[in-house]
């Protein structure tokens, strides 16, 4: 059994992506439908700045085809509380709207910012309180986290260590700690050779049965969603099985 590759971008609600990605004149209310017609996943970025409701999550889920998945970048302040003093009290509140996404939930992205060095005790408390039914992708930005001890803890919990590529840190190692791989490709420029290289790196994981989520950063003109589509086209054998078209307004 092979894994599934889902590619996309951080956010979708950018009218300025017309005409490079969206058709000119696409109403803002129809941007998600148009996005999901061409890409198989999105990393919701607005949820990092404001909590969202069950109703909002259900509305997103109603607009996309069966194979589409949402990765939810969890609220910044709530993530810090979950990692800090109150994981048991914060995590249920932080993750409660995710259930309204139903089968469209891909993963929850929780960021530990660069000013937080590795703390095994805090990580243990967070992982112990995390709901097993919600796939967790952890982006630990300080270099102190990228050690065997962290990898072992995440592997035991089935949580993914996010792989983040930036202009300052190109070609990062991919350390697999979960049944899925989660990549954030944030460089300012990607060419065909870069996509070829990432496709070659991803293929063994997918062939081994692991799913992969790959998200390019938001840009101002619509180049990055086209990169996401081009990367998916490199590995068509790992496309989502569900190919129904986008749903209309409900």
CATH numbers and ranges of domains, the chain: 5-238 (3.20.20.410)
pLDDT at 136: 98
Residue pLDDT, tens place only, 80-133? 999 988 899 999 999 999 999 999 999 999 999 989 999 999 999 999 999 999
Average pLDDT, the chain: 94
Where on the phi/psi map is residue 102: left (φ > 0), alpha (ψ -120 to 50), or beta? left
Residue 242: band (very low, low, confident or very high) from pLDDT cuts 50, 70, 90: confident
Joined tokens for residue 13: 């609600």
Per-residue pLDDT tens for 47-60?
999 999 999 999 99
The CA distance from 222 to 21, in Å, is: 6
More confident residue, 80 or 34: 34
Within a 10 A sphere around the Cβ of 194, how many other Cβ atoms?
Answer: 17
Question: Is the pLDDT confidence value at 247 over 60?
Answer: no
Digit-coded pLDDT (tens) for 134-186 = 999 999 989 999 999 999 999 999 999 999 999 999 999 999 999 999 999 99
Residue 44 phi/psi, 5-degree rounding, is -70, 120
pTM for this prediction:
0.94
**Confidence at residue 246, expressed as pLDDT on a 0 to 100 scale:** 38
Mean pLDDT along residues 25-30: 96
Q: What is the pLDDT of residue 245?
A: 40
Strand order in the sheet with 163-165: 5-9, 211-216, 180-185, 163-165
């Amino acid at each position: 059994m092979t894994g599934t590759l889902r590619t996309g971008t951080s956010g979708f609600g950018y009218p300025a992506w017309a005409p490079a990605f969206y058709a000119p004149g696409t109403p803002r209310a129809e941007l998600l439908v148009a996005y999901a017609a061409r890409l198989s996943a999105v990393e919701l970025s607005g949820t990092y700045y404001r909590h969202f409701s069950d109703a909002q999550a259900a509305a997103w889920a109603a607009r996309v085809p069966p194979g589409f998945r949402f990765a939810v970048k969890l609220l910044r302040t709530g993530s810090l509380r979950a990692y800090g003093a109150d994981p048991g009290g914060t995590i249920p509140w932080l993750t409660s709207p995710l259930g309204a996404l139903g089968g469209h939930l891909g993963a929850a992205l929780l960021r530990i910012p660069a000013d937080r060095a590795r703390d095994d005790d805090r990580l243990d408390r967070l992982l112990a309180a995390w709901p097993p039914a919600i796939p967790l992708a952890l982006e630990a930005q300080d270099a102190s986290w990228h050690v065997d001890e962290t990898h072992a803890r995440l592997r035991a919990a089935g949580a993914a260590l996010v792989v983040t590529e930036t202009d300052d840190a190109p070609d990062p190692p991919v350390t697999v700690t979960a049944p899925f791989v989660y990549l954030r490709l944030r460089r300012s420029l990607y060419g065909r050779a870069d996509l070829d290289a990432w496709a070659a790196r991803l293929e063994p994981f997918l062939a081994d049965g692991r799913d992969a989520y790959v998200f390019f950063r938001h840009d101002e003109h619509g180049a990055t969603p086209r990169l996401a589509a081009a990367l998916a086209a490199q590995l068509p054998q790992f496309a989502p099985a569900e190919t129904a078209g986008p749903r209309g307004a409900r």
